[in-house]
Structures are given as C-alpha cells and as structure tokens.
Amino acid sequence: MSGSSWSVLAALLFTVAASVAHAGPAPCPRTGAPSDRAAIDPLFHRLRLDRIDRLRAQFSEEKHIALLARPLRQSGTIYFDRTRGIARVTLAPTPERVVLTASALRIEKGQKREEIRLDQSKALRAFALVFPALLRGDRAELEAAFTLELGGTAAEAWSLTLTPRDPALCGLVARVVVSGRGAEVASLQIVEASGDVTDTRFSGIARNEAVPAAEVARGFGGP
C-alpha cells in the first residue's frame, strides 16, 4: 500500500514554492551510486502488475523536531484514487483534509482553505507526486527528479531511498525513504535538510473493490 507524510508534504510544498519563487537554488550534495536497473526493475514490475485503482489505509505519523522533546503526532485515513490523486483526512489531534491532484495541493482546515498549483516548478511537482508515482509503478517519473537506491528485494522486505537531483529541492529535502514488502508499502519517511524527520506508518489497508467509490469520493471532499 502506500501513503505519505502529507502534513510535512503540505508544509514543504509551500516552502518549496516560496523558495523557487524568491531564492536561488542550492547545489545538491554528492550521493552514493544509485542501484543498477536490474536490481530495481523487479520492484517496479511488481508495483505495476499489482495495479491499484482505489486504496484506503489508516496512517499514524510522528514528526521529530530537534528543538522539541517529544514528536508531533497525527493520525487518520488516506485515500488513493488513480484518476483523482490522494486525499489525507487527519482526525487527531486536529481535523484537516489535504487533497493532492496532478495539478494542485488543497488544504482544508475548518472554514479555511488554501491551494497551491504544482505547475510553478518541475521540482515542486516531482516532490508532490512521489507517492502517486510509486503506487503506479512509474519509475521514469521518479528517476526524472530523484536518484533511486534499493535495499532488500522486491520479493521480500525492501526500502527505496529517493535523493533529490534538483537544486530547488536539495536545500529542503535530504531524502525520502519508502519501505514495504512485496507490492505493499508499509511506511514512508521524509528527512528534511534541517535534520527534522517525519515517519508515517500505514495499516488496515484495503484496495480496489474493497473500497467503495462513494467512500473515496467523500474522502476527497465530494458528495
């Protein structure tokens, strides 16, 4: 399955947008050699073969900030729809809805609503769509913006580390690590350049026919 750290993603997207618009890019640090194609191919083949059209999962998330003694915690439900995108409905500690489509990120909290267009920069769009691209098994889209390094094997436990190539992201995001087993994604970690780390874990995963289309529509904020 899958999911993402959508609170940190939302915050980072707005920061990235401001950085792209007002600041010069930072050079990307040198990274280790990426995994060879033969090592990664089986994972993406399995993700494409195990096609996901709709998905629902519970998430629990912790953000570790150096200046805080305790992590910030959130929990709720994530919905994925191949044609709509991803919606994250946070229930605790504060209700919030974050909807990510191919063109925009929308945040709803109480009566307040904010939106950011993803076409402001190639880097912004690439970072936002990491999770949907992984669920689709779209390796080319990921490799256009990230260096990929695989640990483990597609048949067993694995972790995929994505390191930004684009200077517009390097000053904000050090790496994204997605872990799973077989075709199921179990966790996602975002390590910021500042050293702050957000860990998101997924449970209660249901997919395709097991997830009513009407429930997904409600998750995205529709009737």
d(CA 185, CA 96) in angstroms, rounded, equals 23
d(CA 218, CA 20) in angstroms, rounded, equals 33
d(CA 177, CA 134) in angstroms, rounded, equals 12
Residue-by-residue pLDDT tens, the chain, 223 positions: 333 344 555 555 555 555 544 444 556 766 656 666 778 888 888 888 888 889 999 999 998 988 889 998 999 999 999 889 889 999 999 999 988 888 888 889 888 888 888 887 677 777 777 888 888 888 988 988 899 999 988 778 999 999 998 887 887 889 999 998 887 889 989 888 888 898 999 999 999 999 999 999 999 997 6
Q: Look at residues 215, 151, 220, 185 and name the one whose alpha carbon lies nearest to residue 5.
A: 185
Which domains does the chain possess? Answer: 6-20+35-219 (2.50.20.10)
pTM: 0.84
d(CA 56, CA 203) in angstroms, rounded, equals 9
How many Cα atoms are found within 13 Å in the side-chain-facing hemisphere of 39? 13
